[in-house]
Chains A and B, each alone.
Chain A
Amino acid sequence: MNEFIVVLGWFGLYAPVAFGAIGSSWGCTLAGSAAIGAMLDSDGGYGRFVGVSLMPSSQVIYGIVIMFSLQRSSIDAANGAALFAIGVLSGATMLLTGIRQGEVLASAINASKAKPEIFGISLAPAAVLEGFSVFALVFALVLAGSIPA
């Protein structure tokens, strides 16, 4: 049983990075595809399209930070379950927010191509999603401090 909890602990330790990387790559693919398409139909402003399409890359960075905060000198039955729970749940948050951020960024790029003046405000939903990722990061860090070493 103890070995199983240790396995779960290692799984939880790496989950934020793995799920964050998947979310970021998925989100960047969606937003990046929109940016490439928009460049085909635009005579300028390519930089801002590509720039915003990179926004979902923050999820993997948050995942790396969470992983370091969860890291312990040893993973055992005392801390394995906590590492698993915090790691997997924060990782799942990074995964979903990364994908959804990519989707809303694609919509924002598509809409602002037709109406350039809404470019800034159209990024608001993506910024809100970024905020949710930050919440997950901050509270994962807070809880990580109470996990036994």
Chain B
Amino acid sequence: MSRPHQYIMLVTSLPHLGKMFTRKEVPISEFRLKQRLSMLRPDHLRLLRELVEVTAWAGVARYSLDSEVLRRAREVIGDLKDYPDLQHLVGARMETRTVIAALRRRRDGQETAGDIENWGFGRWCGRIANHWSDPGLGLGNFMPWVAEAHRLMQSGNHIAMERLSLTQIFRQLDHYGMLHEFDFEAVAIYVLRWVIVERWSRYSEDAARERLQLLVTAALGGPNAPGGPSELDGMAADEPPPGQGLFADASSALQETLS
């Protein structure tokens, strides 16, 4: 699908997702969404899969090393050369992950950023390394939410942390979504938002607490245990295997903070 009117038809056939945290269920099922996305050209569908894989939690969960996640992200950014806004979106997503990974490492007692080039991505790595002891990692002027994330992580309020993280990701998507209405980027941003809404809709407080306990237990094995998670994203034993579906899972600060 390449002609503008076909994108218009596809975009208008997708229901409005609404504001974050306001819906208890997704307005369109995964089955229906995949059905509508079959209007996409095969190469666009492949790019969309790659984009979802590298931004969704389950997609990167298959990698046990942070360096593999970073390599995959760079590959996907290269593949998206014709879509600079999607490249920026992947970059921003990886930078957010880097910040959360840094907060987690610091919470776990790491005294310096260490070899941040092997687990961090983007323009803030040097600043994070230089301001390791600052609650906001020296990013207070650029990302005011980092200090709040630090406070939530220290207090162990993982659900609020998840909410904060998803809100930031949603804002990134809203920012780039404003620039596109009826094109491939608009469809890709819709799908990324759908992934987050779908993930949040599956949460319930009780289930989250139960899951939290499972993850804490799993995390006691340590992040570098065989088959364990990468620092950048984490991995939980009860997650569905990656690649099971097009939109297997969204990013999860909850898992990120716990692994």
Cross-chain contact A41 with B8 (CB below 8 angstroms) = no
Q: Which of A29-37, A74-82, A86-94 contacts B (4 or more CB under 8 A)?
A: A29-37
Point out the residues of chain B lying under 8 angstroms from A33, CB to CB. 5-6, 8-9, 12
Cross-chain contact B36 with A107 (CB below 8 angstroms) = no
Q: For chains A and B in complex, what number of residue pairs have CB atoms within 8 angstroms? A: 48
In the assembled complex, B15 has its CB within 8 A of some CB on chain A:
yes
Residues in A lying within 8 Å of B, measured CB to CB: 29-30, 32-38, 40-41, 106-107, 109-110, 113-115
In the assembled complex, B170 has its CB within 8 A of some CB on chain A:
no
Cross-chain contact A110 with B181 (CB below 8 angstroms) = yes
Point out the residues of chain B lying under 8 angstroms from A115, CB to CB. 16
Nearest Cβ in chain A — how far from B217, in angstroms? 42
Cross-chain contact A114 with B8 (CB below 8 angstroms) = no
Q: Looking across the interface, which residue of chain B has its beta carbon closest to that of A35?
A: B12
Cross-chain contact B5 with A110 (CB below 8 angstroms) = no
Report the bound CA distance from A30 to B10 in whole Å: 12
**Selected contact of A40 from candidates B4, B8, B36, B181, CB within 8 Å:** B36
In the assembled complex, B11 has its CB within 8 A of some CB on chain A:
yes
Q: Which of B155-192 contact A (CB under 8 A)?
A: 181-182
Secondary structure at the A interface, as helix, strand, loop or mixed, is helix
Residues in B lying within 8 Å of A, measured CB to CB: 4-6, 8-16, 36, 181-182
Nearest Cβ in chain B — how far from A109, in angstroms? 6
Cross-chain contact B14 with A36 (CB below 8 angstroms) = no
Point out the residues of chain B lying under 8 angstroms from A32, CB to CB. 5
Nearest Cβ in chain B — how far from A116, in angstroms? 11
Cross-chain contact A38 with B5 (CB below 8 angstroms) = no
Report the bound CA distance from A125 to B204 in whole Å: 43
Report the bound CA distance from A106 to B16 in whole Å: 15
Report the bound CA distance from A106 to B183 in whole Å: 13
Q: List 5 A-B contacts (CB under 8 A).
A: A30-B5, A37-B8, A106-B8, A107-B181, A110-B12
Report the bound CA distance from A105 to B13 in whole Å: 15
Point out the residues of chain B lying under 8 angstroms from A34, CB to CB. 8-9, 12
Cross-chain contact B12 with A113 (CB below 8 angstroms) = yes
Cross-chain contact B16 with A113 (CB below 8 angstroms) = yes
Most A C-beta atoms less than 10 A away, residue of B12, B13, B182: B12
**Selected contact of A41 from candidates B6, B14, B181, B182, CB within 8 Å:** B14
Q: Looking across the interface, which residue of chain B has its beta carbon closest to that of A105?
A: B8
Point out the residues of chain B lying under 8 angstroms from A107, CB to CB. 181
Q: Looking across the interface, which residue of chain B has its beta carbon closest to that of A32?
A: B5
Report the bound CA distance from A41 to B182 in whole Å: 16
Cross-chain contact B5 with A40 (CB below 8 angstroms) = no
Cross-chain contact A38 with B12 (CB below 8 angstroms) = yes
Cross-chain contact A30 with B4 (CB below 8 angstroms) = yes
Point out the residues of chain A lying under 8 angstroms from B8, CB to CB. 30, 33-34, 37, 106, 110
**Selected contact of B9 from candidates A36, A113, A114, CB within 8 Å:** A36
Point out the residues of chain A lying under 8 angstroms from B5, CB to CB. 29-30, 32-33
Nearest Cβ in chain A — how far from B170, in angstroms? 16
Nearest Cβ in chain B — how far from A33, in angstroms? 4
Report the bound CA distance from A34 to B5 in whole Å: 8
Point out the residues of chain B lying under 8 angstroms from A106, CB to CB. 8, 12, 182
Nearest Cβ in chain A — how far from B28, in angstroms? 8
Point out the residues of chain B lying under 8 angstroms from A30, CB to CB. 4-5, 8
Point out the residues of chain A lying under 8 angstroms from B16, CB to CB. 113-115
Given A34-B9, A110-B11, A110-B12, 19 additional A-B pairs, CB 8 A:
A30-B8, A33-B6, A33-B8, A34-B12, A35-B12, A36-B13, A37-B11, A37-B14, A38-B12, A38-B13, A40-B12, A40-B13, A41-B12, A41-B13, A41-B14, A107-B181, A109-B12, A110-B8, A114-B15
Cross-chain contact B12 with A37 (CB below 8 angstroms) = yes
